[in-house]
Structure 1
Amino acid sequence: MAPALPIVAKLLMISMALSVMSCRMNTNLARKGTLDLSHVSRDKFRSLPLVGEWQFQIRNDPNNTVFLSWPKTWPENYGYGKYTLRVTLPALHANETVGLHFPLQISAVRYEVNGRIVAAFGTPGTSVETEIPGRNAKFVSIPYSPNLEISAYVSSYHHARGGTIRPILIGHEQALAEDRFSSQTMDALLTFTPIGFFLFYLGRWFLSRTPIDLSLTVASLALSVRKSFVDERSLERVLNVSYDLAMRIEYGSAFLHYYATAWFCIAYLSWKCRPLIWATLFATIPLFIPLLFSPKFFSSLLYLNQIMLSSIGVITLPYLARAAKYREKGASYILFGVGVQILAGAIDTTRGIFFHQFSGYLTPYASIFFIGMLSLASGRLEKRRMVKLREESERLIHSYQQLSKIIFPHQIEMIRGGMNLEETMPTQKQEGVVIAFDIVGSSRLHHPRLKEFLEASIHDCLDILSENYDSKAMASNGYRIKELGDGFLCSIGYPLANPTEESNSDLALKLSYRFIENLEDHVVHYGFNEPVYCGVGIAKGELQGYYPKTGTKEYDLFGRGIVLATRYEAMRKKIFAKATGHSIILQSEVYQSLSSSEQESFNSVCLSGNLKVRNDDGAQTLYYRLVHTSLKKIA
């Protein structure tokens, strides 16, 4: 913290200088209870503060008279008394009116002008029992008179500070009314500004649920409430809040703003600074206890809010300075806001303790500015968070795109929904139809683009297989079990459902015809000078999906249907001495489940002696068909 001490010292020196200047700007125009304004020009006669030495009768005793500065709290609690000021006004027309603005004071006050009561806030009394405290302000107009005698009966038994804290304003009625309207408009703007911050951060907190947004939400709300109960006290007057409740709200909101600000610093700053802030927070928790007692007791502690806010600033200053030095997001904004907060808190504290000036607090305005700086810092943090989210989203999208190359879209959606990979594909036993497709004698083919031909042929066959895919129904023409270089295995009806109204066997045969047609198209496209044929084996049997228990969880199928399909495709070599066309060989169960129109195009072969299908010893017959030319030509 040592590097920050010179900065803190400079801020305190500046605050002391500004405090003295602010107190001296209100030159004591009134001398020994008399104020001469006759020299003031007509256009300057607006919003003039009646400050200086007022005659004061301690406890309304004419024999105990002193001269006290207005506004200023009593050096000691006199309890009650009467202020008097004789004012000589500038020359005006006889039919003109003079405006007076009587501001809100500490406890109870009654104003008289030339012996006539013009305003009363509460009821001044000679004891705590007879006094009725009040918090209000009033603008009045009176007929022009060259000389005015203004009296104020003041008592303060419900507040720790006695005396006055705000000056009475005098001027030409219209000019003063215009100034008061401007002042009230600015006060309303400063009141609603933190309300805007509150609504914004409340909405953002509902989306982000981050401690930073919640702390800014609470800080903005507390600041808005406090601003409504100081200076013009707009909300307090509208709601007609009782004196005791208004004092508790003013006190409590000040400390709530302090805690929320500290909370933001805890959430933003490094862990090295957090223990100090936590210690300060816990040490100040007892300051809420006075709220249980009378306003006269806890009102003496209000200045501690400025001290605590400044202490948080002093604690966080070196860490913020270091963060700003290394260009951490938002640190420079927070550093600037903390500096202004320290300065304002020090000025208000100095004016209160040393000069007994408790009006025109700078802390609420500095707090609004501080919230604005925190908002800018939060915006930088939010921008960084959004950049990270966008980068993470792009990485996630890329991951899903790559993942879609190895698993189906419905699996991705189910995983997004929280399901495990092992739950996205069926693993129970079920009967299905399997197609074994193989390009005959591919190793003996001679073509400069043979590899490209094989890859393209298989790729387009698999595209045919994936047609009619429905992620909701988990259905497709078929499922690719395995690629074999110059062939592949696929299943119909399991694990993806049949999307058509045809039987699995009929769909398998139709797909086989399309595979053959696709192969012939590629033979023509690549310009082969010799015929290229394929062999197709179709068998029905039990299938079951599974995921390995260890290692990469890659979905696979096993079962009798896969074995039989490869065995029936291999029977091509036993039935035909030489390939003279595309062969389709069917298991008897597949043939029996075909429509009668499809059965007519197949020939049967009795299985006996050495002509047996491996792994299907019980088979008596198989069925085959040779396709000699393009299906387009024979259709």
Structure 2
Amino acid sequence: MKLKLYLLCIPLLFLLASCTNSENNLPKAKDGVLVLSNDNFSANNKIPLNGEWEFFWEELLNESDIKERTKKMNPPNINVPSYWEDSVYTAHGYGTYYLKVILPVDKVGNTLAITTVNQGTSYTLTVDGERIAANGYAGNSKETSIPEYSDRLVYFTPRDREINIVLHVSNFTHKFGGAFNPVYIGTPEKVMYSHNIQLATSMFIIGGILIMGVYEIFIYLFRRKEKVFLYFGLINIVIAIYSLFKMPYYYNKIFTEVPWIWGHRIEIISIYLLFLLYLLLGKSMYPKEMKKTPVLIGVIISLVCIVLTLVSQPSFYSSLLEYVFIILGIYMIYNLYVVLLAYRRKRPTALVNLIAIMVFFASVVNDVFASLNFIESLPFVTIGFFFYVLIQSINLSREFALKLNEAEELSFDLKKLNLSLDEKIKDRTEELNQKNEELERLTLLDGLTGIYNRRYFEEHLTIYFEEARLSTKLLAVLMIDVDNFKLYNDQKGHVAGDHLLINLAQLLNDLCIPNSFVARYGGEEFSIVLMDYSVQEIIQFAENVRLAVEEEKYEQSSNSTYITISIGVSSTENHSFVHKEELVKRADQALYASKSNGKNQVTFL
């Protein structure tokens, strides 16, 4: 008997152990700045951007506005995550959060991922001026704001170590407002892995609860006198529904057209339904210990609250829920009294039921206090529900001596669910591997022009240089610069300048001959690497490139002048280069000579 009691206590110990917060050693933002290291990325699947963000209350500012503002004054800070009630003493309004993140050098130019669940009740997230994520629409009034809850996983590529994150948040409908959920950053592989594991685990738990609920209802259909199976089956189904509609709001992946307010209402209504069904379940299990009057009062309260939630606004029914939680607490104590009384009277299911209730109540109390911002904790209610359902299923099975074939059917269903989840995880893993390969390819391409980038140039020039050093093959580098590009930008604008660079990159790529490649070296500068060509062939190729650009007649200004390029060329012939950097430096010196001697020419050194 003691051994069984210890085994049943394992879920409760699991919940308590899970309360350990592994994020205490992570860096925190200070005065709107967060510095991250390579160790942070390697040691964590995703890094929370927690700490002090700069905060502008009742203003929706962009990055440039914020930087202008900070030149004149030091803006106040606000902790993220936190509720507005703790800082500006109101839940309704709007504001701008700003955080400067300093990345490790090797993260520049590599794709990163940002993910968050939701902010109350709408937000827009921009990185370096580019909007990458949003939930609903963050406006400056109730009429211009669109509330929505949903998790987001997006990608971006930093172009510098310093990235600027701007978060607009507005709330005019809910009782709680502000950026009260963490924003996470990490590598795409690790964030996607964490996301998939969480999704697979949650779906496994929700699917297991749902299957057990359907199983219990089928038992009731064959044994109509045993209403305990009906109530317990309905509890399982409502728990599964609640788990879909609570954070992180998996229902958005299935029912994409459900409005935010109805998703939120279903979440709240599920709590009242669980309260109602649990009272009926307790009355069915212990009819002599649980009195009719408390059950009737509880059922009436639940039905009234459900109706009010359906017809009222979030600010009202969210406040109502706080008061109902007090009533729920009283009923929890009453239910414990009933179960203890049943145990004292030696009811066969009382002891196991008591353990199940402890697990269930521990997870619910944790999440209730967390939702009311009384404590900081991870959500455990789904896990608590799962263990509660599991323990109660065993409990009811023992009491009513289910047939062996019924137990085997449950085992078969759960095994089938496990297999299907394994297949899903396998498919997701294969999909992740494909995306990783695609991400690796994208890291070698220039984001603007689509040709190879500086990283590809450095890596492959190293390979070519070693091959040339160990053989008799000649290696040549052409450094190409657009003449008067700044003037072109000033006269025609940066958008036109980007189009010019795209066209030039495509032209250079088309002109490449075998055993050569072109890469964007930086800004308006390009580089072409050629292998196994004579000096005469290299110089002729460079001259052909220069003429091709000249003949394209990219108009530079209104006085009918056209875009030209200057080229510097260097080769391993007659030079005993030890390092590839010496070859690049010689080509760069040749380019400088072309520029100094009047531009639009080829210089070979």
TM over 0.5: same fold?
A: yes
What is the DSSP-based 3-state SS (H/G/I as helix, E as strand, rest coil) of the residue aligned with 2:337? helix
The structure-2 alpha-carbon separation of the partners of 1:333 and 1:27, relative to structure 1 and needing over 3 Å to count, comes to farther
Q: After superposition, where does 1:510-549 map in structure 2 within 5 Å?
A: none
What is the DSSP-based 3-state SS (H/G/I as helix, E as strand, rest coil) of the residue aligned with 2:177? coil
The corresponding residue for 1:104 is 118
Q: Distance in 2 between matches of 1:140 and 1:28?
A: 22
Q: Distance in 2 between matches of 1:324 and 1:301?
A: 34
The structure-2 alpha-carbon separation of the partners of 1:105 and 1:354, relative to structure 1 and needing over 3 Å to count, comes to closer
The corresponding residue for 2:272 is 255
Q: Distance in 2 between matches of 1:305 and 1:373?
A: 27
The structure-2 alpha-carbon separation of the partners of 1:212 and 1:344, relative to structure 1 and needing over 3 Å to count, comes to same
Q: Distance in 2 between matches of 1:67 and 1:30?
A: 10
Amino acid at match of 2:219: R
Amino acid at match of 1:274: K
Amino acid at match of 2:398: R
Q: After superposition, where does 1:285-300 map in structure 2 within 5 Å?
A: 285-288=303-306, 289-300=308-319
The corresponding residue for 1:186 is 201
Cα deviation code 1:340-399 (max 9, x no counterpart) = 222223323333445375x8432333223222222122112221899xxxxxxxxxxxxx
What is the DSSP-based 3-state SS (H/G/I as helix, E as strand, rest coil) of the residue aligned with 1:35? strand
Q: Distance in 2 between matches of 1:228 and 1:302?
A: 19
The counterpart of 1:92, out of the listed 106, 109, 121, is: 106
Residue 177 (str. 1) matches residue 192 (str. 2): yes
Tell me, yes or no, if the aligned pair for 1:110 and 1:119 is still in contact at 8 Å: yes
The corresponding residue for 2:215 is 200
The counterpart of 1:143, out of the listed 157, 177, 180, is: 157
Q: After superposition, where does 1:393-408 map in structure 2 within 5 Å?
A: none
Tell me, yes or no, if the aligned pair for 2:98 and 2:164 is still in contact at 8 Å: yes
Q: Distance in 2 between matches of 1:265 and 1:222?
A: 17
Q: Distance in 1 between matches of 2:384 and 2:250?
A: 19
Residue 68 (str. 1) matches residue 68 (str. 2): no
Residue 122 (str. 1) matches residue 111 (str. 2): no
Tell me, yes or no, if the aligned pair for 2:120 and 2:169 is still in contact at 8 Å: no
The counterpart of 2:289, out of the listed 272, 291, 296, is: 272
Cα deviation code 1:130-178 (max 9, x no counterpart) = 1111222221121144222111100011211101332111111111111
Q: Distance in 2 between matches of 1:45 and 1:381?
A: 46
Q: Distance in 2 between matches of 1:48 and 1:162?
A: 23
Question: Which structure 1 residue ranges, 5 or more long, are not aligned?
Answer: 1-13, 387-635
Q: Distance in 1 between matches of 2:391 and 2:322?
A: 23
What is the DSSP-based 3-state SS (H/G/I as helix, E as strand, rest coil) of the residue aligned with 1:40? helix
Residue 277 of structure 1, CA deviation = 3.8
Tell me, yes or no, if the aligned pair for 2:92 and 2:172 is still in contact at 8 Å: no
Residue 334 (str. 1) matches residue 353 (str. 2): yes
Greater CA deviation, 259-268 or 291-300? 291-300
Q: Distance in 1 between matches of 2:183 and 2:297?
A: 43
Amino acid at match of 1:369: F
The corresponding residue for 2:368 is 349
Amino acid at match of 1:216: F
Q: Distance in 2 between matches of 1:124 and 1:352?
A: 22
The structure-2 alpha-carbon separation of the partners of 1:345 and 1:80, relative to structure 1 and needing over 3 Å to count, comes to same
Amino acid at match of 1:236: N
Residue 116 of structure 1, CA deviation = 0.9
Residue 198 of structure 1, CA deviation = 2.0
Residue 43 of structure 1, CA deviation = 1.9
Q: After superposition, where does 1:480-559 map in structure 2 within 5 Å?
A: none
Amino acid at match of 2:50: V
Tell me, yes or no, if the aligned pair for 1:53 and 1:70 is still in contact at 8 Å: yes
The corresponding residue for 1:54 is 53
Q: Distance in 2 between matches of 1:281 and 1:155?
A: 36
Amino acid at match of 2:284: A
Cα deviation code 1:283-339 (max 9, x no counterpart) = 444322232112232133445676555443321213323434555322222101211
The structure-2 alpha-carbon separation of the partners of 1:291 and 1:18, relative to structure 1 and needing over 3 Å to count, comes to farther
The corresponding residue for 1:38 is 37
Tell me, yes or no, if the aligned pair for 2:272 and 2:302 is still in contact at 8 Å: no
Tell me, yes or no, if the aligned pair for 1:205 and 1:213 is still in contact at 8 Å: yes
What is the DSSP-based 3-state SS (H/G/I as helix, E as strand, rest coil) of the residue aligned with 1:87? strand
What is the DSSP-based 3-state SS (H/G/I as helix, E as strand, rest coil) of the residue aligned with 1:101? strand
What is the DSSP-based 3-state SS (H/G/I as helix, E as strand, rest coil) of the residue aligned with 2:386? helix
What is the DSSP-based 3-state SS (H/G/I as helix, E as strand, rest coil) of the residue aligned with 1:92? helix
Tell me, yes or no, if the aligned pair for 2:27 and 2:34 is still in contact at 8 Å: no
Amino acid at match of 2:32: G
TM norm structure 2? 0.56
Tell me, yes or no, if the aligned pair for 1:73 and 1:356 is still in contact at 8 Å: no
Q: Distance in 1 between matches of 2:200 and 2:323?
A: 29
Q: Distance in 2 between matches of 1:58 and 1:143?
A: 29
Residue 315 (str. 1) matches residue 331 (str. 2): no
Tell me, yes or no, if the aligned pair for 1:38 and 1:91 is still in contact at 8 Å: no
The structure-2 alpha-carbon separation of the partners of 1:208 and 1:20, relative to structure 1 and needing over 3 Å to count, comes to closer
Q: Distance in 1 between matches of 2:203 and 2:228?
A: 27
Residue 94 of structure 1, CA deviation = 4.4
Q: Distance in 1 between matches of 2:126 and 2:282?
A: 50
Residue 239 (str. 1) matches residue 249 (str. 2): no
What is the DSSP-based 3-state SS (H/G/I as helix, E as strand, rest coil) of the residue aligned with 1:106? coil
The structure-2 alpha-carbon separation of the partners of 1:28 and 1:222, relative to structure 1 and needing over 3 Å to count, comes to farther
The corresponding residue for 1:478 is none
Q: Distance in 2 between matches of 1:23 and 1:106?
A: 25
Q: Distance in 1 between matches of 2:25 and 2:220?
A: 45
TM norm structure 1? 0.54
Tell me, yes or no, if the aligned pair for 1:307 and 1:345 is still in contact at 8 Å: no
Tell me, yes or no, if the aligned pair for 2:99 and 2:166 is still in contact at 8 Å: yes
Amino acid at match of 1:263: L
The corresponding residue for 1:573 is none
The structure-2 alpha-carbon separation of the partners of 1:242 and 1:330, relative to structure 1 and needing over 3 Å to count, comes to same
Q: Distance in 1 between matches of 2:330 and 2:398?
A: 25
Residue 215 of structure 1, CA deviation = 0.6
Residue 32 of structure 1, CA deviation = 2.2
Residue 28 of structure 1, CA deviation = 7.3
Q: After superposition, where does 1:414-425 map in structure 2 within 5 Å?
A: none
What is the DSSP-based 3-state SS (H/G/I as helix, E as strand, rest coil) of the residue aligned with 2:39? coil
Amino acid at match of 1:375: S
The structure-2 alpha-carbon separation of the partners of 1:60 and 1:356, relative to structure 1 and needing over 3 Å to count, comes to farther
Cα deviation code 1:474-519 (max 9, x no counterpart) = xxxxxxxxxxxxxxxxxxxxxxxxxxxxxxxxxxxxxxxxxxxxxx
Amino acid at match of 1:69: N
Amino acid at match of 1:330: T
Q: Distance in 2 between matches of 1:175 and 1:106?
A: 27
Tell me, yes or no, if the aligned pair for 1:73 and 1:163 is still in contact at 8 Å: yes
Residue 222 (str. 1) matches residue 238 (str. 2): yes
The corresponding residue for 2:385 is 367
The structure-2 alpha-carbon separation of the partners of 1:93 and 1:111, relative to structure 1 and needing over 3 Å to count, comes to closer
Tell me, yes or no, if the aligned pair for 2:132 and 2:155 is still in contact at 8 Å: no
Amino acid at match of 1:170: I
The structure-2 alpha-carbon separation of the partners of 1:252 and 1:107, relative to structure 1 and needing over 3 Å to count, comes to same
Q: After superposition, where does 1:601-620 map in structure 2 within 5 Å?
A: none
The corresponding residue for 1:29 is 28
What is the DSSP-based 3-state SS (H/G/I as helix, E as strand, rest coil) of the residue aligned with 1:222? helix
Residue 200 of structure 1, CA deviation = 0.7
The structure-2 alpha-carbon separation of the partners of 1:93 and 1:73, relative to structure 1 and needing over 3 Å to count, comes to closer
Q: Distance in 2 between matches of 1:381 and 1:228?
A: 31
The structure-2 alpha-carbon separation of the partners of 1:306 and 1:385, relative to structure 1 and needing over 3 Å to count, comes to farther
What is the DSSP-based 3-state SS (H/G/I as helix, E as strand, rest coil) of the residue aligned with 1:329? coil
Tell me, yes or no, if the aligned pair for 1:56 and 1:81 is still in contact at 8 Å: yes
Q: Which has the higher helix share?
A: 2
Amino acid at match of 2:55: F
